[in-house]
A = this chain, B = another copy of it.
Amino acid sequence: MSIQHALLTSLLEKPSSGYELANRFDHSIGYFWQATHQQIYRELGRMTEAGWLLVEHNPTGTGRRKKIYHVLDAGRQELARWVGDSGGPGRNDQALLIKLRAEAVMGPLGVDRELRRLVEQHQQRLQMYRDIEQRDFSNPTMSHAQKLQYAVLRMGIKTEENWLAWAKETLPLVE
């Protein structure tokens, strides 16, 4: 989500061509989301129009067309704004990872506030799952169908617990 800010972060780490961005599976960003080259070229075009990026045409000097994108100050400002902005409700987990990465490359931007906000959300969700667990799956004798349903709920519970454990070890890095 917010592919633009992920691209800005990536370009701050290293000015690159669209092709290079599309093929990055190396560090941090890129484990979690993948974007097709069409998406990337589209967003690079838009961000250039918006004045966030500078294009360096034909850097090799040869006949091979290539564009290296550099982040301009307006782009840096937009990224800083976005990091400080609570994304409202919805799935901000992936966004948080990009924000951490942005903080790593741009310095302190206040990600801790968003981290704490998400911790609360995940705690609430975990509580909700545990309530359902109590209500529907506390009986020791379950049918096979019930066990399968329970397995699905357990995935949810474990995912939340895991996320919270990660947040606990990550919070000291940003506060």
Contact = CB atoms under 8 A, between A and B. Distances in A.
A151 B165 contact: no
A124 interface: no
- Mostly, the A contact residues are helix
Copies of this chain present in the complex amount to: 2
Interface in A101-131: 101, 103-105, 129
A39 interface: no
Interface residues of A, number: 36
Interface stretch (A25-33, A42-50, A54-62, A71-79): A25-33
A166 B148 contact: no
Given A27-B132, A101-B148, A162-B162, 20 more contacts: A26-B132, A27-B149, A28-B153, A29-B152, A31-B129, A31-B152, A31-B156, A97-B152, A100-B151, A104-B146, A104-B148, A105-B145, A147-B173, A148-B173, A151-B169, A151-B170, A154-B170, A155-B170, A158-B165, A158-B166
